[in-house]
Amino acid sequence: MNAVAEIEEINIGEAEMSPFSPPSAYDAPKEEEVAYEDMHPLLQQLMDEHKAYSDKLEMFEETIMLIEGGRIDKEIDARLREFFAYMDEEVIPHNREEEKALFPAISKKMLEDGKHSKGADKFNVIDVLEDEHVKIIQMVSVTFNMFALFVRIPDERSRIMILDVALNQAKELLELLKLHIYREDTIIFSYANRNLSVDELNQI
């Protein structure tokens, strides 16, 4: 089993599935999910940061829709700059904080519980999330550079092609960010709250 599939296995278990109607990545069984008010304060803090993060994603998505509708002006430029500044100043440090202490503790517990791939490498969902952190940085960089290049190219045909690439990258980035937040909030943080002791979480 690969590491991506491990994310679903934590929550889906023996649920009946069909290859013609696979479960959505957002279909985490609710009995496995810990309510926000029952979460450890550390996990609540991370979820609160995710809420602010999601608000920025909503604004970015609205901006992309406006651009697709033909609107390109100073307000659009300001919205894009605000989003990319937020990613650089808030989201990347947030991800690094998760990687510093929380992710290693969860990964260790998953390895102890056998929640990992069956190969010698023993991948688990934390490896997937850390890979997504790297991919997020890469996609943010590409998307930012495509939008920046768009305004600098004089040739109209080239500008349209570059804008199309920028918009596609932006949509892929949005989907990755939304899914990443969902996985952490409903699956990973719930697992951490259930399987790490209060003392362990306090030390983090």
Q: How far is the C-alpha of 178 from the C-alpha of 190, rounded, in Å?
A: 17
Residue 162 placed within a domain:
yes
This prediction's pTM: 0.82
Query: Looking at 98-107, 120-129, 152-161, which range is the least confident one?
Result: 120-129
> What are the b/e assignments for 28-50, b being 16+ CB within 10 Å?
beeeebbeeeebbebbeebbebb
Residue 79 lies in a domain: yes
5 has pLDDT over 60:
no
Q: Kindly state the DSSP code that residue 36 receives in the 8-state scheme.
A: G
Residue 149 exposure: Cα atoms within 13 Å on the Cβ side: 16
At residue 139 the predicted structure's pLDDT band, cuts being 50, 70 and 90, is: very high
Is residue 184's pLDDT more than 60? Answer: yes
Tokens 């688990």 correspond to what residue?
124
- The count of domains in the chain is 1
Phi, psi at 18, each rounded to 5°: -130, 140
CATH code: domain of residue 89: 1.20.120.520
Quote the pLDDT of residue 28: 53
Is residue 30 a part of any domain in this protein?
no
Query: Contact, 117 vs 1, CB < 8 A?
Result: yes
Residue range(s) defining the domain that contains residue 113: 38-203
